Chain A
């Protein structure tokens, strides 16, 4: 099946610093990747939709200048949390769609294993 990886799996940073999280589709191409945030015992909340070669679309309430998204290739999207604060501590998960003709129905998103960010 389609595999999505994330790096790093865990990161601890100091308040005020920036952190970059990578999301890669390992064996398929993805024009669209999604970034979610999940707080403990809560559901996944969509933060933004990342489209290869164009600007990301952010959900209401998500600061685009704080959460910078770059989708430079069909296999890589990055999320940078700028000037991180303790309230940004969360589990960040990406997902991707397989655009290969004949593969992957339009509904299906493959999720990465997540990145746990702790801001001290």
Chain B
């Protein structure tokens, strides 16, 4: 079993729809949860970050973490064609020193149709 599971899709929705992306994980030590967006042939860029459980909102994006279920979500409201990309969840443990190692999900390929 992978530490982080993410449905690779592809997921195709019409413009303006609400998009829900999800990941599950097995390592209860994960404390940091991130969502990255990756355009084709580019490096990932950080979209959202959440520490421990809870919700976080940033514009059209909302990240949710449910540690009891080991489940995280990213919601995109009023989706735009420019949101079309691969979305990767990533998580890490707390390390006493040094940078945390990120464990990535497989990524979900999302297409927003005009």
**Cβ-based interface call for A82 (8 A):** no
Q: Does B20 contact A (CB under 8 A)?
A: no
Report how far A105 CA is from B105 CA in the complex, Å: 22
Report B1-40 CB contacts with A as 1/0, cut-off 8 Å: 0000010100000000000000000000000101010000
Query: Which residues from A are CB-within-8-Å of B45?
Result: 111
Partner of A107, one of B32, B42, B106: B32
Chain B contributes a number of interface residues (CB within 8 A of A) equal to 26
Pick the residue among A109, A112, A116 that contacts B102 (CB under 8 A): A109
B41 interfacial by beta-carbon distance below 8 Å: yes
| A108 engages B49 (CB within 8 Å) | yes
A107 and B49 contact, CB distance less than 8 A? yes
A 72-91 binary contact with B (CB < 8 Å = 1; else 0): 00000000000000000001
Which B residues are CB-close (under 8 A) to A97?
99
Q: How far is the CB of A86 from chain B (nearest CB, A)?
A: 20
**Contact of A111 (CB < 8 Å), options: B44, B49, B51, B101:** B44
Q: Which residues of A contact B (CB under 8 A)?
A: 4, 6, 32, 34, 41-46, 49, 51, 91, 93, 95, 97, 105-114, 116
Interface residues of B, Cβ cutoff 8 Å to A: 6, 8, 32, 34, 36, 41-46, 49, 51, 88, 92, 98-107, 109
